[in-house]
Amino acid sequence: MARKRFIRQILPAFLLITFLSLLLNLLLVSRTVKESEFRQSEAELASRAALFRAAIAPSIAGDPGTLQARCKQLGAESSTRITVIAPDGRVLADSDEEPAQMDNHASRPEVAEALLGRVGKSVRFSYTLNGRMMYLAIPEREAGGYVIRVAFPLTDMDVTLSALYRQL
């Protein structure tokens, strides 16, 4: 009799501790996976930016239409948004939009960082593309100080993380 009463008293506390430890474990695993996905995406964007810099460099000094066409081609082939930005923040070319219709990008966090000579990174909502995007901007000092910004949507990452959360 005393044993049953003891089990009834300790069982709720045991279940609560078990539930809380599982919840904490879920939070830590999901955070680790999310951070890993972000690091992998940043590394991939950095690689793409370096490749695009080499591919775009010959078109910078030439005709703006050629630069725009090259960005569109590279963007379509790689499923990446590519934006070439002048030192004053003016958009010279973009793979998804017409540069003449775009705002000055000097105040965008990743571009502002790149204009200072450092690699700029940002994750934010894009009203132009209507979704969460990861941006990475790299400076190009040799050809007049322009910036190459690359981006891709985080929808694939969000879907992967949602599936992981459901499974866990």
Higher-scoring residue by pLDDT: 149, 130: 149
Nearest partner of 151 among 111, 99, 118, judged by Cα:
111
User: Residue 152 — φ and ψ, nearest 5°?
Assistant: -145, 155
- Dump pLDDT digits (tens) for 76-127: 998 899 999 999 999 999 998 898 888 899 899 999 999 998 999 999 888 7
Token readout for 43 is 């590394």
What is the spatial order of strands in the sheet that 81-85 belongs to?
91-94, 81-85, 146-153, 131-140, 120-126
Contact between residue 133 and residue 124 where contact means Cβ atoms under 8 Å apart: yes
- Dump pLDDT digits (tens) for 40-78: 889 999 999 988 888 888 777 777 788 899 999 999 998
Identify the pLDDT of residue 9: 81
pLDDT band at 151 (very low <50, low <70, confident <90, very high): very high
Identify the pLDDT of residue 91: 93
Distance CA 31, CA 129 (A): 26
Identify the pLDDT of residue 1: 60
Identify the pLDDT of residue 140: 84
Predicted TM-score (pTM) of the model is 0.78
